[in-house]
Amino acid sequence: MSTDAGRAGPDPDPDAAGPDGGRRRLLGGGLAGSGLALAGRLAGGLAAGGLGVATAAAQAAGPGGTGEPERRPAAPERPLLKPPRLEPGQTIGLVAPSSAVYEAGPRELAIESLQGLGYRVVEGRHLRERRGPFAGTDAQRAADLMAMVDDPQVHGILALTGGSGANRILPLLDYARIARRPKFLGGFSDTTALINAVHARTGLVTFHAPVAISEWNAFSVRHFQGVVAEGQAMTLRNPQERGEFPAAREDRIRTLRGGRARGRLVGGNLAVLSSLAGSPYLPAFDGAILFLEDINEYIYRIDRMLSTLKLAGALDRLAGVVLGQFTNCTPGEGYGSLTLDEVFEDYFGPLGVPVYRGALIGHIRRKFTVPIGLPAEIDADAGSLQLLEAAVR
C-alpha cells in the first residue's frame, strides 16, 4: 500500500497492506472485504431529534435519476441487547473468522498487546489453520466462534485480523445461542460482515473496533477501553492539534451538509457492507446513522458500491452519514474520474441529512471504537458522534 507523503489524512495502518499493496492481500487491521453488489431492500427511517428529513422526491433522486425505488420489506429491528463490560483481568477469545495470518510474529505481537492491556487470551482451536487465504475451513472458523460463545470462561471475542471470508460463515452460526450468551464481539474491515450480521439477527450491540493485530496505540486504547471496559457514553471527535501551525493540518473534518440528528449506528467497510445487501444479515437502516470506510478501491468502485445501495433503497431515509477514511482510494488509470467528494455529494447530498467526512474510522493507526446498534447523535458541523448511552452493561 502506498504511503505517499503527499496524500492527506491519517497514516494508514501498517498492518493493512499486503506484500503487493493490493486490497485482496491486505492483512490485519486491514483487509477490506469483497465489493459485491447484491440487490436488496434496506430499511428506511426518519431523522430523529426533531430534525426534518428530505422529501420523498429528494430522497428518491439519485445521480442522474428521479424515480422512486421499489419498496421492499425492511429487515426487522430487534430490541437492543448489550453485552457485559470487557474489563482488564477478563479473558478474550481470539478467533480468525476471515483470512489466515501467515507469520507467527504478528500473531505473537497481537497476543502480547492484549495481555499488555491486562487481558487473558485464549486462542481458537483453528486459529493457526489455513485453507487457501482463509484461517481454516468455513466450518472450522464458525466452530471456533461458537466455542467462544459457549465457553463461560471467555468474556469477549475479538477477530485476529480482517481479510476476506467472514461472510462465508454467517449461515453456519447459531444466532439463538449468541443471543442467550451475549458477549463483546469486535473487529473491523472484513469483520464488518460478522458484527453487522450478529446485530441484525440478535439485536446485540457489537463493535467496529481494532482487530487484534492492529496497532494498539494510546488513542485507540483509550477509545476501546472507554467504550468497552468502562461503559462511557463517549464523544467520538477527531483531535484538532495545531502544533506550530495556525490551523490543524491532520485529522481534519469536512462538513458536507450541516445539522444534527439521532439514530442507531450501523456501518463499517463499504465493500463488505454492500455484499450483505438483500440478505438477512444486514441490520435495519431505519433512521440509522450510517458510517463507512474503505481502502485500496478505485473511485469508480466506490461509486458502484454506493449506487448499489442507492438502487436497493438503502440510502433513502438515513438519519445521517459519517464518512471515515477512504485510504488509497484513487481515480485509477485509463479514463477520467469523479473525485470522492463529488461521489459523496451525488449520493448523500439529495438526502438532506447531516453528513461529514474524515472521522478516524478505517484502515488507519488511530481509530475509534464504534458500537453497532447503539443510539448516537451526529453533529456534522462539529464533526462528532455522541454516544447517547453506554454500549455495555
Catalytic residue among 220, 363, 377, 384: 363
pLDDT given for residue 76 in this prediction: 66
Residue extents of the structural domains in the chain = 35-72+235-387, 91-229
Q: What would the mean pLDDT of 225-238 be, rounded to a whole number? A: 99
Catalytic residue among 34, 113, 164, 189: 189
Q: What would the mean pLDDT of 208-229 be, rounded to a whole number? A: 98
Contact in structure between 52 and 287 (CB atoms under 8 Å): no
Any residues with CB less than 8 A from the CB of 320 and at least 6 apart, and which? 47, 259, 261, 263, 289, 290, 353, 354, 355, 378, 380
Catalytic residue among 98, 113, 215, 293: 293
Which phi and psi (to 5°) does residue 111 adopt? Answer: -65, -45
Query: How many angstroms separate the CA atoms of 336 and 300, rounded?
Result: 10
**pLDDT tens-place string over residues 245-258:** 777 768 999 999 99
Any residues with CB less than 8 A from the CB of 86 and at least 6 apart, and which? 92, 119, 155, 156, 183, 184, 228, 229, 392
Question: When comparing pLDDT for 72 and 330, which is higher?
Answer: 330
**pLDDT tens-place string over residues 10-55:** 556 544 433 333 333 333 333 333 333 333 333 333 333 333 333 3
Nearest one of 269, 279, 257, 252 to 211, comparing CA atoms: 269
Q: What would the mean pLDDT of 326-336 be, rounded to a whole number? A: 88
Q: What would the mean pLDDT of 189-203 be, rounded to a whole number? A: 98
363 part of the active site:
yes
103 part of the active site:
no
- The separation between CA 246 and the C-alpha centre of its own chain, rounded to angstroms, equals 33
State the fold for domain 91-229.
Rossmann fold (3.40.50)
Which phi and psi (to 5°) does residue 325 adopt? Answer: -90, 130
35-72+235-387 CATH, one of 3.40.640.10, 3.40.630.10, 3.50.30.60, 3.40.30.10: 3.50.30.60
Question: When comparing pLDDT for 241 and 360, which is higher?
Answer: 360
**pLDDT tens-place string over residues 129-181:** 999 999 999 999 999 999 999 999 999 999 999 999 999 999 999 999 999 99
Check whether 78 has a pLDDT greater than 50. yes
**pLDDT tens-place string over residues 271-313:** 999 999 989 999 988 899 999 999 999 999 999 999 988 888 8
